Each structure stands twice: as structure tokens, then as C-alpha cells.
Structure 1
Amino acid sequence: MLKANTLFTERLKGHVKEINRYLRYILTGHLAIAVFFILSALAYYYQQWLEELPEEFPTAFIIAILLGSVTTYSPIQTMLKRADIVFLIPAEHQLKGYFRRTLIYSYVTQIYLFLFIYAALAPLYLTQYQGNTYGLLLLVLLIVKGWSMIANWWMLKVREQSMRTMDIIVRYLIISALIYFFIKQEMLMVGIITVMGIGLLIYNRYLFNKQKALNWELMIERDYLRMRSFYRLANMFTDVPHLETTVKKRALFARLLTKSVPFEQSNSYTYLYRLTSARSGEYFGIYTRLLVVGGLIIFFVPNMWMKLIFAILFSYMTFIQLLPLWKHHAIIIWLDLYPVADKVRKQSFIKWIQQLMFVQMLLFAIFLFVVESYVTGGLMAAASIVFVWLIIPGYVNQKIQSR
């Protein structure tokens, strides 16, 4: 007889242990310090921006979009494993208590992010509105968050991806509209939208009852993807041996990076690292995201020196997150058959990291030339030379030896 309570307790203990195992590296790492500095600086400029906020600024609309997103986003951490699709499906009717507890656990763990966004938007609200509306909105959204999570759970039975996508879009529009009209105190519209939300919930329940079984493949895949995202984050601070990465062909980009590599034995690792950077969703995504986000922050921050500091910080964050590329192929045994000395491999890796960082820092320098001044751009260009050619080789050698 399968005991749902015991199964949930065991899975939860294993899940929390796995999270805590890597979380201590994340919270004590130097990258976390850089992120804390960035958030502190952004909070300071956020406060300055609020002081100059124009009266016609669409505060209610912005709050509705952001709070609507974090309220609608309600993934369910079922803590299922791939083997469960064989061993637990026959006992699905005995797992109602297990899934009920996973819903409660998912709700509680997501409240932290929700409250963070809610608190961050409070100063924006108070610049244009008064009264207890924002406090009452918190109580309303805590209920709506629970509704969204239940609706998301019911939709997990639906096999059609298009129907699940449409449900999320409609739910997001309803929640965002509810927040907007609640802030505007247009209670008639709030009542109408609430009725629409109840109607959607009833329809979700109808679809749930219509299906005979849960979509186990979907639940397991979503759990796997969430944990992989966490492992990718942890891998920036320590080695995660069981991290699996996605590979995309990106033929044009891969050809662009590799076509200039001479066909010589000494360039084997140069070709490999370039190809990996192009096709791995991990490194390609990190590099492009930090480049774009860094550029946006540099553009909006008003102070010249802070622009420069942010450019250097985002370059440093990119560099730290590219270092796991060295261990990317550690479990592939055929690399040991390369007739190439380990010294050549290190040189190829360091040279490729230098090239990647030089391109990013040079782009930041050019951007600073355009949006700020020649002095700021020149300082960034000088910093890139010092960082790329003096700091990176020694730092990478030290990290490689420590691993």
C-alpha cells in the first residue's frame, strides 16, 4: 500500500537537501556579492527616478503588468522523477494527498518572489496613490495566486499545448486587468473581471474532469527543466557533475565562429570550445543576456562612474559564468584520446575566454563612447586591456588547478 504522506516527506527531504547543497555556494560566492551591489545601486537610482516621476506616468498599468506576471506564474514543484512514470502511474489514484501537499509547498515557496516584487513596486504606487488600496491588493492577490496555481494544476491534465498556452494568456490578462481596475478603484469593472475569472476557473475544472489521467510526461519534464535551471545557476559557483545541457545546431553562428580556425592538430580544442560556445544554450544564452541587460542598465543609469562600474561588473559576471566551459566535456572520455598536450588545451581555453571577454568589453566601451563620453569609453577600453591580458590568464590558471 503506497502511503502518499510518507512519499511526500521523503521527496521533500531529498529536494531540500539537494537545494541547500548548492545554495550555500551561491549565497557565499563572489558573484552573489556583485549581484547584491548591482541591486543596491539600482534601488538607489530607482528612488531618484521616483522623485522625478511625471504625473502622467502609467503607474497602474506598469504595476498591473508586473504583478500580473508574478501572480500568473505558478509552476508546481511535484518532485517527480523520471522513473516514476513506470512505478507510480499505476498508483495515481492513491496520490491525491501527495499532489495536494506539492501544491501547498509550491505556493509557499513562490510567495517570496511575489512579496519581493510587491514590495519593490510599493514606492512606485505611493508616488501617485494614497490610502489602503495597495495593502488590500496584497490580500486579493494572495487569493488570486492560489487560484492561478490550482488552475495551472488542473491544466496539467490537458494534452494540447495550444490550450495550455491560451489558458495562461487569458489568465494573465484577467489577473492584470483585475489589478489595474482595483488600483483605479473602478469596482464595477473589478466585479465583472472577477466573474470572468470564476468562469475561467470553472472551465479549467471542466477540462480537468474531462481527462482520465494526469499528464505525467509533462509534469516530470517541467520539474526536470526547473532543476536544470537551478543546476546551471549553481554551476557558476561550484561543479555540478550531473548537470545536463541542451544543444542547438545554430549552423550559421557555429560556422561563423569556427571557419577561421586553421585545420591543425594544435587547434583541436580551439575548434571544440568555439563550437561548444555556439551550440550550448547555457553559454550562448548567458553571454547574450548579460550583454543586453548590461547595456540597458548602462544606458539608464545617469552617473558616469556608475555606468563604468556596471560595465565592469557585468563583464566580470560574464567571465565567471563562462569558466564552467572548461569542465563542459569532462564526462566525455574520447577527449582523452586527443593527441594534444594538456598545456595546449589550457592555452586554447584561456585564449578563447580572452577573445570572448575582449569582444564584450569592447562593445561596452563603444557603447559608453556613444551614450556618455570619450573619457568613459576610454577608461572602459583600458580596463578591458588590463582585465583580458593581465588578470584572466592568471585567474583561469588558478581556477583550473583548483578543480
Structure 2
Amino acid sequence: MFNSKQFFIQRFSSHMLEVSRYLKYIFNGHLVFAMLFLVSALAYYYQAWLVQIPDRFPTAAIIAILFGLVTSYSPVRTLLKEADLVFLLPAEHKMDGYFWLSLLYSFLIQLYLVLLIAAALGPLYFATYPNKPTTQYLVAIVVLLVLKVWSLLANWWMLKIRDRRTRVLDTLIRLVLTIVIFYFFVKGEMVLSGIVTILLFGLFIYNYFLSRQYPGIAWDLLVEKDRERMHTFYRIANMFTDVPQLKTAIKKRHSLVAAVTSRINFSQEQSYHYLYRITFIRSGDYLGMYLRLIIIGGLCIYFIPNLWMKIVFSLLFLYLSGFQMMTLWQHHRTIAWLDLYPLKKEWRQAALVKWLMQLMIVQTIIFGLLFVFIGNLLGLAVVWIGGFLFSYVFIHGFVKKRLV
């Protein structure tokens, strides 16, 4: 006899086995060390900034927006696969246990984000409102958890509605109401917060009765949602190792391709130079990741007050970019012509080394120009000299040994 709860446990075990296989590559020693350093440094400057926080700083609005976002973001992970559209459809009336466990799983895996946001905003709350009792912030966290459950259930009910615009509008309304609830709560306006909570509860009840008009399960929509989330995970994992399940999207970007390949000669020796440049521009998320690291690193350089910590962050993000771009070496390993064509392996290694060096030099120049913008020529000199030396040592002392 079909047992939906037992089926979920089996599907969950299979899912965790697959995820853990890639997580060990994502959270490798180098990345963990870099992230620990980044978090520790940001926490230090965060505490230092709280000591001199401006009197009119919009703490209530920031807490309300972040609490509202983390509450409204409540995707339901069903772990369904395309084959379930055929094989589970006859057992739809027996799937209640499976979906209740999937809701519980969805809530538990999102708790880390709730606790992370609550822990990060706690010092800001107590620095802004030193006279308010600790219990009030704890109550706000409890309210956050309750509204999180509401949001998760509402999202589950709205997954029976196929009209995407209706689902998006419902999410936006719940997001706005949730932000207003937390804003009034942090400001101490409990009556107004209670009134808006009643409105949100009314919308919650409306979601329930609306879903009752659609008794069936939108199997294809559930499968599509889960496939999209797994695709996102695979894209992240693909930055660290090869993911066979991932179908890489190719973007043309003719202008950028022309810009990075215009000086390459049409010869055998230059084949890999051309390949790695267009791969960086068109395939996967290499270009996007490279630009995001530059932007985040630039923000750290601009806002961190200490000069030497600015320099350390410059080198840290330079290292992260170089380390992540190393995966270009493995990008084409499943393509047979790399082994069949009469191209020397030394050419391939030299092409990637040169391209990575150019990328790190461009990033070093950008970080250095930020010091010009903030009027610190000493930082400019140190970052440019240190960045060029670090790039050379990193490429020739670390990267080349792993290009095998």
C-alpha cells in the first residue's frame, strides 16, 4: 500500500545525498577561510559603527523591510520530479502526508535565514532603542516566525492558482502588509500593528478559500518551481565542480565577445585564447560572478574606514575572483574535441593563465581607482603594487599547479 510519508522520507534522503555531494565542493577550505575573514571584519566594523549611529537613522524602516522580505520569501520545496507527473497522479488523494512533510521541511530550511537576519539586526535595534526591554525584540522574532508560517501556507495555497500575475500580486500585498506590521511594532505602535495584522489575517483567510475553489493539485507548476530552485543550486555548484544535470544557458553578447577577441590572431596557437574568452563572456555565470565580486569588493573598500583593511579587502576579493575563475579550466572537459584536435596542452594552460592574469589585473586597476576617488593616493600605490604582485604569485604559484 502506498505510504506518502515514507515516500517523502525516501525522496528527502535522495535529495540530501545529492545536495551534500556538491556542498563539499562549494564549502572548500579556501572559500570558508575567506568568508570567515569577511564576516569577522564586517562584524567588527558593524559594532564600531553602532557606537556612533546617527540619531535619525531609519532603524525601524530597515528592520521592517528586512523582516518583511524574509517573511514573504517562503518558497515551498516539494522535491517533486518530472516523472511524478505520470506516476504520482493516480495517488493524488493519498499525498496529504507527503505535502505536509514538505511544508515542514520548507519551513525548517528557511529558519537559518530568519535567525541570521534576526541576529544581525539585534545589535542595531538595541543601539537605537537602548531603553526598550529585550523581551520586545524577542516578541518581534516570535511574530516573525508566526507570520513566516502564515506566508508559507499562503504560498502553498496560491500554488493552485495558475495565473502568475495573481500570485505575484498576492505576494506583493502580503509583503507590504508585513513590512507595515513590523514598522509599527518596532516603533511601539501596537494598536496600528494589530490592525494591519488583522488585515493580513483576512488576506490569509481569503487565500485559503480561494484555493478551495481549485481542489486539484497543479502538479506541473510544483515540478517547475522545484526544478527552478534546483537549477539555481546547480548553477552555484557549477562554479566549483562539473554538474552534469545543469544545462548551461548561452548568451550571445556580440559586442563584448568582439571586444575581448578582436586582438586574437587566427592561428592554432591562439585557439584556446579565443575559447576561454568567449566562454567567460557567454557561458554560465562567469561574467556575472566576476562583476558581482568587483561591486561587493568596491563597496567594502569605499565604506570601511581603516586604510589597511581596505587594502586587505582588495586582496581578498582579488583572490576570490581568481579562485572562482579557475573553474573555466573544467568547463569544457566533457567536450571530446579538446582531446581530438591537434592542439597542445601547453597552449591551453598558457591561454587560461594569461586570461586569468588579465582579469585580475583589470580588477586591481578598478580597486586602485576607487582609492583615487576617495582621495587616498597611498592606498592606490599599495593596491596596485600589491595587487599586481599578488596576481602574479597566485597565478603562477597556485593556479598553474592545478591546471592538470
TM-score over 0.5 for the alignment? yes
TM-score, with normalisation over the residues of structure 1?
Answer: 0.94
2:325 alignment partner AA: L
Contact conserved, 1:74 with 1:152, CA < 8 A, in 2?
A: yes
Cα distance per residue 1:185-229 (max 9 Å; x no partner): 212221221122122212322332233533333322332333333
Larger deviation, residues 323-332 vs 21-30? 21-30
- Give the match for residue 101 of structure 2: 101
Contact conserved, 1:154 with 1:208, CA < 8 A, in 2?
A: yes
Q: How does 1:193-342 map to 2 (within 5 A)?
A: 193-342=196-345
Q: How does 1:1-400 map to 2 (within 5 A)?
A: 1-129=1-129, 130-131=132-133, 132-400=135-403
Unpaired stretches in structure 1, ≥5 consecutive residues: none
Contact conserved, 1:85 with 1:217, CA < 8 A, in 2?
A: yes
Unpaired stretches in structure 2, ≥5 consecutive residues: none
Contact conserved, 1:22 with 1:234, CA < 8 A, in 2?
A: yes
- Whole-angstrom CA distance in 2 between matches of 1:195 and 1:374: 57
Contact conserved, 2:76 with 2:156, CA < 8 A, in 1?
A: yes
- Cα shift at 1:26: 3.8
1:261 alignment partner AA: I
- Cα shift at 1:28: 4.4
- Whole-angstrom CA distance in 2 between matches of 1:23 and 1:338: 34
- Whole-angstrom CA distance in 1 between matches of 2:201 and 2:157: 14
- Whole-angstrom CA distance in 2 between matches of 1:385 and 1:21: 36
Larger deviation, residues 20-29 vs 172-181? 20-29
Larger deviation, residues 265-274 vs 343-352? 265-274
- Cα shift at 1:286: 0.7
- Cα shift at 1:52: 0.5
- Whole-angstrom CA distance in 1 between matches of 2:308 and 2:256: 35
- Whole-angstrom CA distance in 2 between matches of 1:391 and 1:339: 30
TM-score, with normalisation over the residues of structure 2?
Answer: 0.93
- Whole-angstrom CA distance in 2 between matches of 1:377 and 1:84: 58
- Cα shift at 1:25: 4.0
- Whole-angstrom CA distance in 1 between matches of 2:257 and 2:170: 37
- Whole-angstrom CA distance in 1 between matches of 2:255 and 2:206: 45
Cα distance per residue 1:262-283 (max 9 Å; x no partner): 2223222222211111122421
Alignment root-mean-square deviation, CA: 1.9
- Cα shift at 1:241: 4.4
Cα distance per residue 1:84-123 (max 9 Å; x no partner): 2232233222212101101001101111111111011011
SS in 2 for 1:189: helix
Larger deviation, residues 129-138 vs 246-255? 246-255
- Whole-angstrom CA distance in 2 between matches of 1:218 and 1:312: 44
- Whole-angstrom CA distance in 1 between matches of 2:332 and 2:275: 10
Larger deviation, residues 26-35 vs 16-25? 16-25
- Whole-angstrom CA distance in 1 between matches of 2:55 and 2:225: 43
- Cα shift at 1:64: 0.5
- Whole-angstrom CA distance in 2 between matches of 1:323 and 1:52: 42
Contact conserved, 1:236 with 1:320, CA < 8 A, in 2?
A: no
Change (3 A) 1:207 1:252: farther
1:145 alignment partner AA: K
SS in 2 for 1:127: helix
Cα distance per residue 1:48-83 (max 9 Å; x no partner): 111111111111001011111111111122111232
Contact conserved, 1:245 with 1:282, CA < 8 A, in 2?
A: no
2:309 alignment partner AA: M
- Whole-angstrom CA distance in 1 between matches of 2:221 and 2:329: 33
Larger deviation, residues 381-390 vs 213-222? 213-222
